[in-house]
Amino acid sequence: MNSDRLTRVFLFASSLLILMIAAGIVFTLVRGSVPAFKTFGLRFIVADVWNPTTGRESYGALPFIAGTLITSVLALIICLPLAFSTSLFMAEYFRGTRIARILSSLVDLLAGIPSIVYGLWGFYTLRPLLISLGVSNQGFGIFTSSLILAIMIVPYATSLSTEIIAMVPDELKEAAYSLGATRREVIFNIILPSARSGIIASYILALGRALGETMAVTMLIGNSNVVPKGLFSTGNTMASIIANQFGEAGGLKLSSLIAIGLLLFAITAIVNSIGKFIINRFSK
């Protein structure tokens, strides 16, 4: 067997293995969630009651779906201006300078910090600060967890956006400058149109991390199994409820937690599909 054929076989086997792993994950989640959907039907998705009392068990995923989407979207909204401004600072305004290299190293460092560390920092620093400002009586809630999520995903979005912006050909920018364009005009008429698909991809990846984040959110959201009534109320997310209750769950409750995992998988897949559609549309 020559080297080219061996390479093709290896690549095919690797791709097939990834496909089998993905199929195995879906199969396991579907099989585990069957009892929950068989008992509650599709109303499991929109039911807002989570009652594990024996003999009166009733489970619904709506509070956790709402908590997940609200915290993740709010975190992305907070992240957007911070990540975009920092990426422009490093890739365009101060590109190649010492301060840009230092800031890039700090961004990479922040991206590698474990989520539990962010959770501890938020609990002992961010939470007391919000209490002192009167944002929340206990410092727990949707807004607090969204803030810590935003801080967590800013390095991811910033690092990727910086790389994408830096890849815009200098010839395009120099041509615009030679025609009398200002820095702002070059950014909005040359850089952003050229890099928009990659920038969007960076924010979608950041949103994907926010959707599945567990420990930091668990420490700050309040872990109330109810639909959030506002940004400063407590709530729960899909990942948090699984982390908190999976170890002691059994029977129908365990199946309901697995069903929530399946729904989280589906939401993440939908978000990624929408992101790919947007990227393909903007890249044409």
3-state helix/strand/coil string of the chain: CCHHHHHHHHHHHHHHHHHHHHHHHHHHHHHHHHHHHHHHCCHHHHCCCCECCCCCCECCCHHHHHHHHHHHHHHHHHHHHHHHHHHHHHHHHCCCCHHHHHHHHHHHHHHCCCHHHHHHHHHHHHHHHHHHCCCCCCCCCHHHHHHHHHHHHHHHHHHHHHHHHHCCCHHHHHHHHHCCCCHHHHHHHHHHHHHHHHHHHHHHHHHHHHHHCCHHHHHHCECCCCCCCCCCCCECCHHHHHHHHHHHCCHHHHHHHHHHHHHHHHHHHHHHHHHHHHHHHHHC
pLDDT at 136: 64
pLDDT at 283: 59
Structural domain harbouring 221: 64-283
Q: Is residue 167 part of a domain?
A: yes
pLDDT digits (tens, 9 = 90+) for 119-177: 899 888 888 888 887 766 666 888 889 999 999 999 989 988 888 888 888 888 888 88
Q: Is residue 49 part of a domain?
A: no
Q: Is residue 243 part of a domain?
A: yes
pTM over 0.85: yes
Q: Is residue 55 part of a domain?
A: no
Q: What is the CATH number of the domain that holds 193?
A: 1.10.3720.10
pLDDT at 238: 93
pLDDT at 73: 92
pLDDT at 284: 57
| Ranges of the chain whose pLDDT falls below 50 | none
Domain count of the fold of the chain: 1
Q: Is residue 155 part of a domain?
A: yes
pLDDT at 138: 67
Q: Is residue 31 part of a domain?
A: no
